[in-house]
């Protein structure tokens, strides 16, 4: 997808977050779009501003691990990846194939 599309998608998702602050899916999507534009720090911040229900979702921890690893926050990234895998073991296989987690040793 072209970067312009990610930018437009991230803006749409950001607006949805403002209208429905309790909808975790909007925050997940907004963060993902921001990450795809190359603004991983903004992605991380967007995700962390979401509703507390996100903390109960494995994908929150997985995506946060990807963003933190990209930002060079190895220990925090590993902690969130472990949390995601503890919640849903399928994320271990995803992590092995994810370019955002390249270089992270996985057990």
Q: What is the pLDDT of residue 21?
A: 82
**Model-level pTM?**
0.88
- Report which DSSP code applies to 50: S
| pLDDT tier for residue 13 given thresholds of 50, 70 and 90 | confident
Q: pLDDT tens digits, residue range 37-92?
A: 999 999 999 999 999 999 999 999 999 999 999 999 999 999 999 999 999 999 99
Sequence-distant (6+) residues with CB within 8 A of 81 are: 61, 62, 65, 69, 91, 95, 101, 104
The C-alpha R_g of the chain, in whole angstroms, comes to 13
Q: What is the pLDDT of residue 67?
A: 98
């Amino acid at each position: 997808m072209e970067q312009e599309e990610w930018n437009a998608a991230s803006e749409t998702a950001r607006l949805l977050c403002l209208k429905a602050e309790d909808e975790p899916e909007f925050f997940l999507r907004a963060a993902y779009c921001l990450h795809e534009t190359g603004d991983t720090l903004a992605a991380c911040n967007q995700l962390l501003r979401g509703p507390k229900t996100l903390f109960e979702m494995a994908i929150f921890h997985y995506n946060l691990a990807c963003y933190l690893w990209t930002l060079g926050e190895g220990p925090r990234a590993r902690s969130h990846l472990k949390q995601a895998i503890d919640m849903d073991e399928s994320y271990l296989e995803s992590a092995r194939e994810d370019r955002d987690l390249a270089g992270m040793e996985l057990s």
